[in-house]
Structure 1
Amino acid sequence: MTRPVTLPDMSTSQRRLILAVASAVGLLALTACTAGPGGSAAPTSTTVPSDQRLENAHPEPPEGRVIGVGTVLDDAGDVALCMGAIMESYPPQCSGVALDDWTWDGVDGSETSGDATWGAYAVYATYDGERLTRTDPPIMLALYDTVAPEDPTGGVEGSTAEDELTRVQDDISARLGTDALTVGTDRGYVWLHVVWDDGTLQDAVDAEYGDDVVVVTSALREID
């Protein structure tokens, strides 16, 4: 079985890898909340058409190149960019976005164990909504100058009650599953981190839960 990464019982190289990913991504700290026995699901709007509900909302892919930071995991030729949680094992395990046209030629900073090779990088690519295609040489995260994302709330604290935030978080987690890279509560909001959103998912959560309850952020950033 696997369990969430805990740095103290990892090798030095693994700790450096995970710390590099965490530093580059710069995700907001999220408070994980789980509904206890008998917890009720968050109420959603019954006026939202079924094809516009969160789990059925499909953002339009970006038109140009994007950049994403995380762990590139090559498992016997199946390559993925993992921008969410990394499970502790050797080699590591993660659920990522398929990455085409990847090569390790001339790329430093990788480790290999058996059929698996991995490393932490900033990856330039195009994204079609399902797969990434590498367009430029990657940059090791240790050498990548991360740009801090703009705070979508403008620094304003949310006003939704904590128990309601917990119900909304649990509802989103149950409905999106692994499509949610992370989901948690912080500063009076539910923060939903996904691979990509052009505003479609934000509109969907606003329609279902109300404005200023859920904040959607994207792991991929447009650069063209």
Structure 2
Amino acid sequence: MRTAPLAIASALVLLLTACGTQVADPGASGSGGAAPTTGTGAAGMPPGATATPAGGGSSSAAKSGPPSAKATSGTGEFIAAATVLEKKGEGPQLCLGGVAESLPPQCGGPVIDNWDWATAPKSETAADVRWGEYLVIGTYDAAASTFHLTKPATTREEYDGPLPTAPPDAMFTTPCPVPEGGWRVVDPAKATRAAQDAALEAAAKLPTYAAAWLDQSINPADPEKQPEAMNDPVKLILNVKVTTDAAGAEKQLREIWGGMLCVSEGGRPEAELRKIQEELSGKHGMLFSAVDGQTSTVEFGVIWDDGSLQKAMDAAYGLGVVHVTSALQPYPG
């Protein structure tokens, strides 16, 4: 299940799902310095990712700084679901990164060298800009920054051919065992939205803080019909992960939060992952980056990686610390 942003008190950003909510660090700055973007066209973009319009394990911190690796061209055909946008005087671009929310939208990427709006499905126009949402299949030339269609463009709704395997959706589950008598609120007076926000802020200030998320799976409400009901603080489990001393962290948080609480141990400090994310900002043709506290990884999106960039990341930061995701996927047809 994908997420949608929801602003709540104290400027915490929660990303809702039917199963849970990942909490972004209240004080963390994004990577890339891009204009506000949506996930439209950003293939594989995880919740909470910072997108940049395209075209433009060890538990220690970086061993040798950002790795050096060149963008690579792929062999064979690729498939992508993305926005295609053309500004007056510029070629049609395949927007594989974020799309800025504006009218007209703003984005960029490899030029599609054989695009023809006359044969493309439905599109929109505004202020000398034409765009549409398409599923495209073709070849990619990294050196020329071009994409060449090998099959007619279509829409996601009309396409009935083979698709690459999609990555699993994030599941915000609770790792703690169910307490004797089941999950329950221990102090209703401290199981409020304000107390929840305060607990999240306090957790983020812990020196061993790794992540926080809300497990909403115990809430019987229908997230599609009653999205606001999913935020009921007495019908969720506040999860906090720290690298060490879970008992000490739980004691501190219990002074603030009276709702259901699970404090677990593991992973890397979020501050360490944020440092890596900042080092990588804008490099290697970055499309997006995001810190995943649950898996203690930095998700890093590029147009295409043949494995050489992932290898360089593993050498620089430790095996699997940075997970490289390619927006273009091999066409399975």
Q: Same fold (TM over 0.5)?
A: yes
Kindly indicate whether residue 172 of structure 2 is the aligned counterpart of residue 172 of structure 1.
no
Stretches of 4+ aligned residues off by more than 3 angstroms: 142-148
Change over 3 Å in CA distance of 1:98–1:31 after alignment to 2: closer
Q: 2:117 aligns with which of 98, 104, 110?
A: 104
How many residues of Structure 1 are paired with residues of Structure 2 in the alignment? 187
Separation in 2 of the partners of 1:150 and 1:89? 29
More helix as a share of residues: 1
> Which residue matches 1:45?
63
Please report how far the alpha carbon of residue 216 of structure 1 lies from its aligned counterpart in structure 2 after TM superposition: 0.3
Q: Which residues of 2 match residues 22-61 of structure 1 at below 5 A?
A: 25-30=43-48, 43-46=61-64, 54=67, 56-61=68-73
Q: Can you list the C-alpha shifts for 1:39-60, whole angstroms capped at 9, x where unaligned?
A: xxx95334x9xxxx63x31254
Within a 5 Å distance, the mapping from 1:98-177 to structure 2 comes to 98-129=111-142, 130-144=145-159, 147-150=164-167, 159-173=267-281, 176=283
Identity %: 35
Larger RCO: Structure 1 or Structure 2 (Cα < 8 Å, ≥ 6 residues apart)? 1
Query: Residue 147 of structure 1: CA displacement?
Result: 4.6
Name the amino acid aligned to 2:36: P
- TM norm structure 1: 0.73
DSSP 3-state at the match of 2:311: helix
The 8 Å contact of residues 78 and 331 in structure 2, kept in 1 or not, is answered as: yes
Change in 2 beyond 3 A, CA 1:27/1:142: farther
AA in 2 matched with 1:73: L
Is 1:185 equivalent to 2:291 in the alignment?
yes
Give the direction of change, closer, same or farther, for the CA distance of 1:204–1:120 in structure 2 (3 Å limit).
Answer: same
Pairwise CA distance, 1:212: 2.0
Q: 1:71 to 1:31 in 2, by over 3 A?
A: closer
Q: Which amino acid aligns with 2:93?
A: A
Q: For the aligned residues, what is the CA RMSD?
A: 2.8
- For residue 77 of structure 2, the aligned residue among 35, 55, 65 is 65
Deviation, 1:124, is 1.0
- Bigger CA radius of gyration: 2
Structure 1 residues without counterparts, runs of 5 or longer: 7-17, 33-41, 152-156
**TM-score of the superposition, structure 2-length normalised?**
0.50
In 1, Cα distance between the equivalents of 2:99 and 2:139? 23
Residue 69 of structure 1 contacts residue 141 of structure 1 at CA under 8 Å; is this kept in 2? Answer: yes
Shift in alpha-carbon separation, 1:109–1:134, aligned structure 2, 3 A:
same
